[in-house]
Every structure is written in structure tokens, then in C-alpha cells.
Amino acid sequence: MSKFNRELAAARARSRRAGAAIALAVAVVAVAAAAFFVYTRGVAVSVSPPAAAASAVVSVARGTGFAIGGKVYSAGDVTITVAAPGFITETVAVAAGRPALVEVVMREAPSTLLLAASPALPGTRWFVDGVLVASGAAITAEVKPGIRRVQVNHPHHEVAAFTVNIKRGEEVGRTVQLAPLSGRLRVTTVPAGATVAMDGATVGTAPLAMDVGGGSHALTVTLAGRKTVRDTVTVTNAAPAVTRNYNLPPLDATVRFELSPAGGTLLVNGRRIRNPGAVTVTAGSEHTAAYAKPGHGRQVRRFTAAAGAANVVRMTLRAETGEVKVTSTPKATVSVDGAVAGVTPLDLRLSTVPHTITLSKPNYRGVTRTVTPSTGGVKRVDAVLKTEKQARLEESPAQYKNQAGITMKLFAKPGAVNMGAPRHEKGRRANEFERAVRLTRPFYVALHETTVAQFGLFQSGKTGAPAAPVTDVTWADAAEFCNWLSAREGLQPFYARRGGRWVNAGGEGDGYRLPTEAEWEYLARKAGRPQQTRFTWGGKTQVPPRAGNFADESAKGKTPGYIPRYTDGFAGLAPVGSFPADRAGLFDLSGNVSEWVHDVYSLTPPRGGGIEVDPMGGAPGGAHVFKGSNWRSASLTELRASFRETSAGGRDDLGFRVARYLYGGNHATQ
């Protein structure tokens, strides 16, 4: 066999072997496919909407499987994709053990408009189907597919509009040319004839009307003798016609006022001017200036000022005076605004401004008046000066409560009293000397005796009910209490410590003190009564009910004596004020406790038969007097108001009440 035949036979053998291999492979694939279809079942994929279903393509993106004819075949979990033109590709996971049907709803792919304006202006607004979608020189906007109407609006250009038919998922780009806006401007002025410039260039004389492009324009309106007006007008497609009417005010002028004397009140056209050196007014018009100052006549001027000129207005006022006549009783020194002017009666000529006129005299309360003289008549100042004592008396309250809680009553005009008792008076003792006394100085006296609580503010340690009168106090204790109370209230102390004793300080100050014996008898026998009496309750010997706290029936066997058929309700001390006030308005002058008085005790009869004025008692050195009956008293002697006694120290039936002069004096008597 030739070589060629051998090669041909070999080729035929190889061909038979290749065909057999291919047939075997096809058979294997066929057997595998048959086995796959036997062991798997397809999942149907339902696509909506119909527009998407018509062109949808289903494929396996991940996992082992394949899609044929709208079904997916797989041996396990797979992920499929569904794609259709104009719709967004959807990705769906299909798990093993899946249902026989998978529904896929596809979303339309957005349609996009790519729009730009020419000229490119940032304030451009874009509307699609009448709805504002964006603002700017260029925009990107997603819209629904279909025929859309687009409007382009920039306020300084004409509005542009067009339609576009856009498909699903389509991008459409367009540049829109904006046409310039043509507006109309009208300008009038009062007065007419003003020059109008727009954007720096003169455009005419008012009144004028002109075409003007859209946008903002600067206007300047000028006229000789008038203030320049500057304005900005804006022409828009919403308001293409603009009208301006300008009222041009006259120019201002500056005026300097020279005023004499300075410091007055300047009014220009009724407006008060604070800085007369630079006053702005309307140039070329007439103005009114008025200038006034107290003590001077008023001046009114009319003037006209020119713009740019040195305008000066001079105004000078004439001083005015008036007559003032000053009289007083008694004569007094007259001071005007702090300077002595003379002694009343006095005629003064003063400027017509308010003046302070003061009348003064030693020991008298000064009088101050404010007077404004007038050119039209005589002003008069007539005054009656009161002594300082009169003034203080009128200013003083009838009653007041001091810082110890003691209520004080004023006796402004005490008057005369006959102290002591005549020799024939029943119950009289030898020490009750008759004395004619006149009390001239107003004084305060306590309504009640000083209580334990009130004395305790000064000195602690006293026992007893707080409202009961304090007892077992020496005269010195009482005097020291008075000085302590004076110091608390800033009053001049009445007592001073000399040689180990409390004595009158010498000036009869207005501080607290003990009542004098004369004052005590005046209060007990004369004050508030039509005539002088023997007892605090009157002239009858019999003690009336509730006259005071004495030794009553309950004291029988406890005191040296008692008052038969009298009951006061207290076997010992009573709270102050437990009984009605006497005719002087005071409480417990009789009964409860006897009371220390200021005077030094003396058994020397008074010399001469004259009237003693405001006596203060004997010279210091001995014991002091106490007055009045107490809760142990029952005898006629002790119950009488003229009864007087002394003691070397305190007692349990002896207390005190305080007094003070309304004002200090200058008596040397202790």
C-alpha cells in the first residue's frame, strides 16, 4: 500500500474516533440534561407591568442554574435579574424550596432633563407642568416620561416656554435662550424740570417716559435749590411698567444763634434747640425763633437762611425785676438766697425768678418762703415767727410710746397748784408745807408706773409679774434708768454722777427724769379737774369703788390697817392699768405702789409767801421724796394726795414713773 493510501486510511480512522467522541459527549450531555430535568423543576417568573413583560429578559446572576422561556431552573439557591428597556433592572433571590412562581414588579427608569439658560443667570426659575422644580443657571431634573411643558423665568427677561416628549429612562438636554425684557419708566417731579440720570448717564428732564431694560437701575434726580434724590428702580417681567413721582424738598441751611445771656430756652419753629451753635433749617423759607430766660423778657425773631451761607441770628434779652415787701412779727433778719439782705420791714427789688426768702431770729423758729417777683405788681411776704418752744409744742404729739414701751402723755399748759395741806386738814402731817406753785414748762409723764418688763430692758434680775410695777428700786436706780432711756433715744441726759450721787446735770435737759413733787401733786389734784382736790378721786373722804389698789377687806390681819367695805380684787400688787384712769388720764397715781419723785426731802418750811415757778426741790445731799399711797395704804393720811415721805432705799411697795420736759431749759436749780 502506498504511503498516500496509508495516510488516507489513518485519517479516516482518526475521523471515526473523533466522531465517536463527539457522539459520546453529546450522549453524556443529553443524559445529564435528562437527569437535571428529572431531579429539578422550573420556577416561572411573572413580570409586570405589561410594558416591561413584553421585552423582559430573565437570567441567572449567581448560583447554578439557567433560564429558558421565562422559567428558571436550578439545583440550589440562585439570584436572578430581570431587565427590560425603559425599566430599572430588578434583582431577585430565589431560594431552594422556592414557590413555583416568582412575581417581579419593575419600576420605570426615570427620565431626566438637562437644562441650561443663556445667559447663565443664577436667579432663573424652572417650572415643569406649572410646578417649580429648581432654581439656577443650569439644572438637572427627573420627570415622568411623556409630553412635558417647561417654563423658564428670570425676572429680568421674558418668560420662555417649550414642550418635550421624553421616553422612559431617556436623558434630554437643552439650552434655552432668554430674551431681554423691555420695560417702561415714567418719572415726574415737584417742582417739574429736574434732571434725571439713570445708571450714571443723563436720560432727560422730568416729566419723562422711556423704555428701559429689565433689572435694577440707579436713578439720580437733581434740581437747583432742591435736595438731590437718589433711588433704585427695578423692572421685572411681573411689573414691567414703573412710575416714580418725586417731591424734591428745598436745601437745608445752617444757622448759628448768638444768645445773651446764655443758658435760656431757645425754640425754633416751636422746637426746642439744645445746640444753638448749629441749627438746621430749610433754606429760603421764613422761620421763627423765640428765646427766654427766667428773670428776663422774652424775644421773638423771624429770619430766612441761605444754603451754604454763614447765617447768624443774634438775640439779647433785657433783665426784669419786681418789688417784694417783707414784714414780720417780731422783727427778724431777712436773707435772700442765703445772703443777708436786712431787717424787717424791708423793701426788695429782685429779678423775676424764684427766690428763697428766710426770716430768722434767735430763739425763734425760722420761716422760709419762695417768691417769684413780677413786673406787674408787688409781692408780699408777711410772717409771724414762733418761738422755738412754741413751734416744738405745736409739733409734738399728745401721746407717744418710747423705746422702752412706755406711753407718755403731754401736759402742754400745766398751770398753778397749791401744794401741801392747811394745818386744820384732817390727816395732815407736819411735813406737808403749803406752797403756791406755778408750772410753766410743758412736760410728758408716763401713763403708768414702770413695769418689771420695762425695767428689765435696762437691768435684769428683778422678779415679779412682767406687767406689775417694778419695786425694791432705789431713787438712784430710777435716775439711772432715766439716763439709760435718754441715751437710747438720743435725748440730753437729765442726771449726772457727781460725788458718788446722781444729781441734776444742770441744764434741765429734755431727757427722761422723775416727776417733780410739784408736778406729781398737780397731776394728782389739779390736772383735768375743775378745781383742786384732796384725793385723786375728788374731795370726799370715802374711797369710791375701783379707785385704786389699796389695803382692802382682803388685807385684814395682813397690814396695819384696811379700808372697811372696800374690795379692789388684789391682795398685793396689781398689773399696771388694772383700774380706770383718773381725771388727768393717768393710772395708779393712788394705790398699787408709792412713787419716787425728783425732789430731795426737806423738813424746812418754805421762806416767804411768793409763788414758786417750776420748783425742782432742795439742794442735793439727802434722801428723796416719794409720793402717793400703795397696796398697803388704808389711813386717811396716806390716801391724801399731799402725803409725802422719804426712804433710805427701796421697798416692796415703792416704784416710780418717768417724765421729761418737752424741751430743755437753762435753770441752775438742782
- 537 with 544: CB under 8 angstroms? yes
Residue count of the chain, please give it: 670
Rounded to a whole number of angstroms, the distance between the first and last alpha carbons of the chain is 188
Q: How many CA atoms lie within 13 A of 142 on its CB side?
A: 5
Strands (E), 224-269: 229-235, 241-247, 252-260, 265-268
3-class secondary-structure state, position 177: strand
The CATH number corresponding to 396-670 among 3.90.1580.10, 3.40.1160.10, 3.30.565.10, 3.40.50.300 equals 3.90.1580.10
Q: Which residue has the cell 437762611?
A: 305
Q: Which of 527, 653, 506, 544 is nearest to 585 (CA)?
A: 527
Q: Which of 560, 391, 405 is nearest to 485 (CA)?
A: 405
Q: Give the long-range contacts of residues 463-470, CB within 8 A, separation 24 or more.
A: 464/573, 465/573, 465/575, 467/575, 467/576, 468/573, 468/574, 468/575, 468/576, 469/573, 469/576, 469/588, 469/592, 469/593, 469/655, 470/655, 470/656
CB-based burial of residue 604 (10 Å sphere; 0-12 exposed, 13-18 middle, 19+ buried)? exposed
Q: Which residue has the cell 392747811?
A: 422
The CATH number corresponding to 182-247 among 3.40.190.10, 3.40.50.460, 3.40.50.300, 2.60.40.1120 equals 2.60.40.1120
> Which pLDDT does position 74 carry in this prediction?
84
Q: How far is it, in rounded angstroms, from Cα 656 to Cα 670?
A: 19
CB-based burial of residue 494 (10 Å sphere; 0-12 exposed, 13-18 middle, 19+ buried)? buried
Superfamily name and number for 111-177: Carboxypeptidase-like, regulatory domain (2.60.40.1120)
> Which pLDDT does position 376 carry in this prediction?
87
Sign of CA dihedral 2, 4, 6, 12: negative
Q: How far is it, in rounded angstroms, from Cα 609 to Cα 607?
A: 7
Span 252-316: which CATH code? 2.60.40
Binned average pLDDT, 10 residues per bin, the chain of 670 residues? 58 62 49 45 86 88 86 86 90 80 88 93 93 93 91 94 91 93 95 94 94 94 93 94 94 95 96 94 95 94 93 95 96 96 96 96 95 94 93 92 97 96 95 95 97 97 95 97 96 91 82 97 97 96 96 90 95 96 97 97 85 87 94 96 96 97 58
Domain formed by 321-388, architecture = Sandwich (2.60)
> Which pLDDT does position 308 carry in this prediction?
87
